[in-house]
Structure 1
């Protein structure tokens, strides 16, 4: 996916002292131009869970399917600070066990609807040993829940929650956000959980239909 250039234009104002007339006015025009510096690619656009028989699903508890692996890579023309953000296109369909933790509820993605019922949810888990800032150099995850204003300590466990910024630093133990990189590669496990059979309408076949978009944001 090729990212568009970002152009931010600051507001401008024309002002004169209230008590005096003036034959001129000051004009301030401010802006930031960020070039189209980076490209984001993936190991594949679609991940398939295959055909699952109802006989292989639990009646009264969630069924966890085999994890799927997913790779994501960013190449930049020059060292650039950026963060990834995921948007869940099926957020209204995520359904979790009643005893699920608040953390899991925040990071769950929906699997769509099957015959009018919610199918379940999936989680996106980073693999810390497979985060690279160059082809042989290990990177450290950091994330922000306020759109890049504050960052957690690099190197701590980070999950890919919908709506949060996730970046990579070249060093651990600081909270200044992602490093300027020319390359980043991450591996993720996709953990799929299907709702109990008693909650599903299995009178007809239905598709697992999770969908999310990963955005690259310049910082």
Structure 2
């Protein structure tokens, strides 16, 4: 028994010897840039989508109910041509009844049931920027390391993927530098199935998301 103990201790001593000779410090570097460029976003109607009062009789019992598409106007004004992307944060995180980065929650009812979800999409055909003849959408799911081929298809804004715009069709180079952009946002709302909601009192639809500009 002692033999095994001595042999084990000897091996440990040999293995730790190189570590004692290694450097006892490591460098941490903080990098970045402070840019004089800045962009300000604005939304029509103060960014409020008012669905009004919805009767429970208008909801599907077994499946979610998709409401009529709503739109908001988005304007982005920069103090110079700027390469930027858009993301959105769910201010009701955890309340969307489908787990995806493009769906945002509508809060909970009085018994903690999820009320539903909403999504926000951009349509490049409804987007104008500066004096450019046409704008195309592009997206990166890799933090800007690679970009989806730019095209005219509508694209949902996500909480992790970068959404940008370019004036070059079929490009994989990412967003172009833009100073002023205007677009119509499509807001799609889907309420939870009636059977999954507590209707002993009014159910408040309480969705909220924050649109962010990230500079490249």
Residues 82 and 207 (structure 1), Cα distance of their counterparts in 2 relative to 1, 3 Å cut = same
What CA distance in whole angstroms lies between the structure 1 residues aligned with 2:113 and 2:32? 48
TM-score, with normalisation over the residues of structure 1? Answer: 0.78
Would you say 1:77 and 2:79 are equivalent positions? yes
Q: Secondary structure at the match of 2:195?
A: helix
Task: Determine which of 159, 162, 181 is the counterpart of 1:162.
Answer: 159
Residues 181 and 163 (structure 1), Cα distance of their counterparts in 2 relative to 1, 3 Å cut = same
What CA distance in whole angstroms lies between the structure 1 residues aligned with 2:58 and 2:30? 63
Could you tell me whether the CA contact under 8 Å between 1:109 and 1:210 is conserved in 2?
yes
Could you tell me whether the CA contact under 8 Å between 2:124 and 2:152 is conserved in 1?
no
- Structure 1 gaps, min length 5: 1-27, 97-103
More helix by share: 2
Provide the alpha-carbon RMSD of the alignment.
Answer: 2.1
Greater radius of gyration (CA): 2
- Structure 2 gaps, min length 5: 1-28
In structure 1, the partner of 2:94 is 92
Task: Determine which of 42, 47, 50 is the counterpart of 2:49.
Answer: 47
- The number of residues matched between the two structures is 185
Task: Determine which of 102, 105, 113 is the counterpart of 1:110.
Answer: 105
| Runs of at least 4 residues off by over 3 Å | 28-31
CA deviation after TM superposition for structure 1 residue 36, in Å: 4.2
More strand by share: 1
What CA distance in whole angstroms lies between the structure 1 residues aligned with 2:30 and 2:187? 46
Instruction: Map Cα deviations across residues 158-208 of structure 1 (whole Å, 9 max, x no partner).
Output: 221222211110111011100011111221111111111110001110210
What CA distance in whole angstroms lies between the structure 1 residues aligned with 2:117 and 2:30? 47
In structure 1, the partner of 2:181 is 184
